[in-house]
A and B are shown apart, each in its own frame.
Chain A
Amino acid sequence: MDGSPGPDSGRPVGTSPGDGAMTAGMDDPERADRWSLTVTDLRKVYRRGVVANDGISLRVDPGEVYGLLGPNGAGKTTLVKQVIGLLKPTSGSIRLGPHDLVARPSVARQLCSFLPQAQLPIDALHADEAIELTGLIRGGDAASVRRRTGELIDALELGTWRRTLGTRLSGGVRRLVGFAMVTVCPGAVVILDEPTNDVDPLRRRLLWDEIRRVAGGGAAVVLVTHNVLEAEKAVDRLAIVDHGRLLAEGTPSSFKVESRDQLRLHVMLRPGAGDPEMPPFVLRSARTGNNLVAVIAEADAGTAIGWARTLVDEGIAEEYALGATTLEDAYIALTGRASLDDVNGEV
């Protein structure tokens, strides 16, 4: 099922951003103006003609956590790689305050901190050493970097692994060390590409607290994710990207305006079960693995429960749950696909 954003479903693409996302770092409007990351009509076409970004415009203000949400291959990573200066746009501009980041990629590297999707090269480094050295490479002074390293290790509860070599760290702990490396001396823009990959639920919360603290310090945080639940709880504003285009932009709440009178029916199908036929009251649906998510009108709740119970009785489904609509439903409406993550996943 697919659909298009309604007039209240996120901010229509192309209008000025910034409303509804006031956070600690934005109290000073002059400062906000100086540090905003502004991407205008960005287009990236790879050599073989693949269009990865197709006219993307957005603005991220200091103090703001901005989510880039979209399925794999949507063009999110291509976008951030252009911001950090690893790729050159085919056309369009990227500015950070007064700096043209396309023309001066070395400035981009100094002003932007980047946590890529892949793990960082710290096999032979101790956790605290990796964080400290990165802080020094980012231009921090030794005393401040050492202090921040200690704070981050405490805040992320990494003390047990402080002197452990990277090669002996689990994927999740290594990811947290990578996050600490990127934020020990953060740039004006902090780009986090799937920062919670492999991180356990408890430490994810610590991670989000720290991301919020980084934004509170005045950085513009760009969070790249395909995890809708994470985005909903963690970001001030977000953009949904697919096929290289920015489909909609707004606060998480604004995406749900259209579906205020709707409910989501989550049906856990039995492994191997085919797609059940959708009854007419289902407004839209999407299936990821054995998870079937259907959006229905509030008035159809009783009928929908009866239908779901029938699926269970017939052995097609194992269980079901009815609840309020989430950002996931807006995401499905916009992209026609469910988030790739377990819909029961936790932020």
Chain B
Amino acid sequence: MVTAPLAEMPRLRSGPGDWLRAYVVMTRWTVASLRLFIPLLVVIEILTGVGFVLGFGLFFHGPAPSRSVLYISTGVPIITLYVVGLIFLPQVVAQERLAHTYDYVQSMAAPRSTRFAAWYSLNLVAGVFGMIASLVAASLRYGVDLRVTPAVVPATLLICLASSALGFAIGHAVSLPMLTNILSQVLNFFVIGFSPVCFPPDQMPAWLVSVNQGLPFASMSIVMRSAIGGVPVSGVAGAYAVLAAWTGASLLVAVAAVMRRS
């Protein structure tokens, strides 16, 4: 027998308990929606983590200098930590716009913050997987002596949060899908090629160092190197502050974009 679907007035949901429940369901929805892409994500994380660690070594004739090894070993994990949030996430949002499913997703009954939280969780899990792969590869390839300290936890959480927030902001604030895709790719190339993440800043032109000082990627490098590099690193507190500021600003933009009603 088919029952009447609406027996009583729906209860308006609010408060932490309802938010947590919505977050769990939205995480299930997000993971299930990406089911077809999860093998691809695993490949991306392995290729990014292991591939870059091995690939950067090819730049050197003979053994890589220890300073370069340190930067490669502590820099590549950052790429694995941001790739889902900063690159993949905005492209998924862009795809929703192209497929005309964006309105439906925006109309879903769960708080929109739970969607961000679900993406953040996914970014974190995938990123940590890639990070571990890259550290193992670095250890085997270069025999680097990394010292993982408890600071790796806040560093990882914050790097992931900053990249997810930035990716979420780009995805929702830029309404042209093509532009979103270009922007996320440009950011990726910028980080790999023009940010002091996988190589020291003193190998870059001074003006590019100055540009990077206002961006979050050099700060990601500093906090991660200080957490696992086993060497003293200066400017750690400032780097955390820059990352926190970027996270906050990105979240503000994301909130404004996702709540925007034209």
Contact = CB atoms under 8 A, between A and B. Distances in A.
Interface string A19-53: 00000000000000011000000000011000000
B107 A125 contact: no
Given A86-B261, A188-B10, A109 B29 contact: no
Given A121-B99, A137-B29, A105 B261 contact: yes
A86 B10 contact: no
Chain B interface mostly helix, strand, loop or mixed?
loop
Given A110-B109, A183-B5, A167 B261 contact: no
Contacts of B32: 124-125, 129, 133
Contacts of A154: 2
A114 B107 contact: yes
Interface residues of B, number: 39
B111 interface: yes
A155 B104 contact: no
B67 interface: no
Interface stretch (A194-202, A211-219, A263-271): A211-219
Contacts of B2: 151, 154-155, 213
Nearest to A120: B104
Interface stretch (B33-41, B54-62, B170-178, B221-229): B33-41
A321 B237 CA distance: 83
B170 to A, nearest CB: 19
Contacts of A188: 6, 9-10
Interface in A129-149: 129, 133, 136-139, 147-148
A139 B4 contact: no
Interface stretch (B20-28, B181-189, B191-199, B202-210): B20-28
Nearest to B96: A121
B92 to A, nearest CB: 10
Contact of B9 (A34, A124, A151): A34
Given A88-B262, A133-B28, A188-B9, A114 B36 contact: no
B105 interface: yes
A116 B104 CA distance: 7
Nearest to A133: B29
A254 interface: no
Contact of B7 (A46, A47, A151, A217): A217
Given A85-B261, A110-B13, A217-B7, A123 B36 contact: yes
Interface string A106-126: 110111111010111111110
A85 B99 contact: no
B10 A136 contact: no
Contacts of A137: 22, 25-26, 29, 108-110
Give the interface centre of B34, B100, B107 by most chain A CB atoms within 10 Å: B107
Contact of B10 (A125, A139, A151, A184): A139
Given A110-B12, A137-B26, A121 B104 contact: yes
A86 B107 contact: yes
B3 interface: yes
A324 interface: no
Nearest to A31: B9
Contacts of B104: 114, 116, 118, 120-121
B106 interface: yes
A133 B25 contact: yes
Given A88-B262, A110-B12, A188-B10, A139 B109 contact: yes
A84 B105 CA distance: 12
A85 B18 CA distance: 21
Q: What are the nearest 6 A-B pairs in CB distance?
A: A118-B100, A217-B6, A217-B4, A88-B261, A121-B101, A124-B35
21 contacts: A46-B262, A47-B262, A86-B103, A106-B111, A110-B109, A112-B107, A118-B101, A118-B103, A121-B96, A133-B28, A139-B13, A139-B109, A151-B3, A167-B36, A186-B6, A188-B6, A213-B2, A213-B4, A214-B6, A216-B4, A219-B5
